[in-house]
A and B are shown apart, each in its own frame.
Chain A
Amino acid sequence: MCAQPAPATPTTDGSRTVLDARDISRALTRISHEILERNRGAADLVLLGIPSRGVPLAQRIAERMASVEGVHVPVGSLDVTMYRDDLRLKPARTLMPTDIPSGGIDGKTVVLVDDVLYSGRTIRAALDALTEVGRPKAVQLAVLVDRGHRELPIRADFVGKNLPTSLAERVRVSLEALDGVDSVAILETIKETGR
């Protein structure tokens, strides 16, 4: 595949930054508007972030929706660890918080929020986890970065940035709430990790 040259800024650790804080901010604002547009407002919406970096992204989308529509969309988190198909391949993983908003998700439109969409396996696990929490009217997916290389028939409804990558590369998302800085960077690596 011919990777399109992303607007890259070389950094000291060999990574190149493809999105900076303002790019991320604009992408989230656009995603927020797209979600509202697609669902004709914020009624019956629930945002569920997938830990760890999906959660602050979901919160930021909700803040933007509040300033646009004046409606506070419930935000929660959904841990998918125990639903992963590679659970048995690695040492027992640490669980992350699952926090379903008090109104539940039955009959609501749930927007799953994650930082990077890659193989699609995390989202498959999330769909399984969701069915044990309730029965949403619809499930949509918002991601900050879609880096391709899907292994399952899954696609995102809202994408911040399509980022063509090679399998040898890694995408590193840093967010203000967890890492102190907003950025998306690509790292060259020989080792295959995290699939």
Chain B
Amino acid sequence: MKRHLLSAADLTREDAELVLQTADEMRSLADRPIKKLPALRGRTVVNLFFEDSTRTRISFEAAAKRLSADVINFSAKGSSLSKGESLKDTALTLEAMGADAVVIRHGASGAPHRLAHSGWVRSSVVNAGDGTHEHPTQALLDAFTMWRHLGPRNGGTLDGQRIAIVGDVLHSRVARSNALLLQTLGAEVTLVSPPTLFPVGVETWGVETSYDLDAVIPKADAVMMLRVQRERMNGGFFPTAREYSRRYGLDGRRMATLQDHTIVMHPGPMVRGMEITADVADSQRSVIVEQVTNGVAVRMAVLYLLLGGSEPAGSLAEPVETPGDHS
């Protein structure tokens, strides 16, 4: 792995599989009486959130705390960030405090990249969502959830699995990160959306696209519904909410056309009745609550692999165990 996790494209297949396997070990911790590991004792993780987020922030916070790291939460509301401090000055402050990792969410696409490559901080930077660009740990937790459910019947990989990502692709950093990561892992991704909600240049992503949900989902192994991000919309992307849900919402009738093993996912927060109906969200196929649990395990894995050793684990590191490596 590189020193930062800024984009799902930074991960090689080897790195991504290492994260999934590590997350699998981290997940078993939830069944133990003491849900804590000593790996990051004495390390400081700063959660720097310029945008509101509840689940991502508490997920990172829980992950860092379970690895015994010290956590500092820094959110825009009620801090110097709302008083007009620049990203650079905030970064210098964090550096002076001795942060080992900065988890950043920012409304501007590319802010984590700027932070990582500006020379302002020496710490690892983890992108927790930047504008409409990327959200790599969400993609990793989605891939982990799919791998747990679909892997056992597919030789332990996602090779050739068909994943449908449905909804507001234009404003979705989750869709972009997922499209990149799932292809790295060998899955076939189809994006389904109204024509107005496809981003410019989607044809360069290497994924299939469709306007017709009913044609795509019977073949899918996993269906991921995206929230319509009305707070980012200031134009007429579709006539009415009702029309959107009829054409692109997942309801009981459409769910009945899925294959038996197909899982239904949603990165949250859901708008029940808009992109997904309550009966689907609460059905046996829905793994939406499990995604949250897996989110903590995946973020633990990422923090451990970035901060656990003298340098990040993965493709560039030396072999971990040689015969006779006893102590």
Contacts and interface: CB of A to CB of B under 8 A. Distances in A.
A133 B310 CA distance: 27
Contacts of A172: 323-324
A171 B310 contact: no
A79 B310 CA distance: 20
B326 A116 contact: yes
Contacts of A134: 33
A193 interface: yes
A145 to B, nearest CB: 9
B225 interface: no
Interface stretch (B34-42, B53-61, B256-264, B265-273): B34-42
Interface string A108-151: 00000011111111100000100011100000000000010000
B309 A88 contact: yes
Interface stretch (A4-12, A26-34, A62-70, A91-99): A91-99
The interface size bin for chain B is 20 to 34
A2 to B, nearest CB: 22
A116 B327 CA distance: 8
Contacts, number: 98
A89 B322 contact: no
Nearest to B36: A132
B25 interface: yes
B322 to A, nearest CB: 7
A154 to B, nearest CB: 11
Contacts of A120: 327
A92 B306 contact: yes
B36 to A, nearest CB: 7
Given A122-B326, A122-B327, A97 B308 contact: no
B324 to A, nearest CB: 4
A87 interface: yes
B304 interface: yes
A25 interface: no
B37 A82 contact: yes
B313 A93 contact: yes
A194 interface: yes
Interface in A147-168: 147
Contact of B322 (A87, A98, A173, A194): A194
Contacts of B36: 132
Nearest to A97: B25
Q: Do most interface residues of chain B lie in helix, strand or loop, or is the interface mixed? A: loop
A191 B310 CA distance: 21
B312 interface: yes
B320 A93 contact: yes
Interface in B20-66: 21-22, 25-26, 28, 32-34, 36-39
B309 A92 contact: yes
A195 interface: yes
A38 interface: no
Nearest to B321: A52
Interface in A73-113: 79, 82-83, 86-100
Interface residues of A, number: 42
A132 B320 contact: no
Nearest to B31: A100
A122 B325 CA distance: 11
Given A92-B308, A93-B308, A193 B322 contact: yes
Contact of B311 (A82, A91, A100): A91
A171 B327 CA distance: 11
Interface string B163-190: 0000000000000000000000000000
A100 to B, nearest CB: 8
Interface in B272-327: 304-313, 317-318, 320-327
B313 A91 contact: yes
Given A82-B37, A91-B317, A194-B322, A118 B327 contact: yes
A53 B32 CA distance: 24
Contacts of A195: 327
B12 to A, nearest CB: 15
B111 interface: no
Contacts of A98: 25, 28
B255 interface: no
A87 B39 contact: yes
Contacts of B308: 82, 87, 92-93
A94 B33 contact: no
Nearest first, the 8 closest Cβ-Cβ pairs linking A and B are: A194-B325, A92-B309, A92-B313, A91-B317, A170-B324, A92-B308, A116-B326, A82-B39
Interface of A: 52, 79, 82-83, 86-100, 114-122, 128, 132-134, 147, 170-174, 187, 193-195
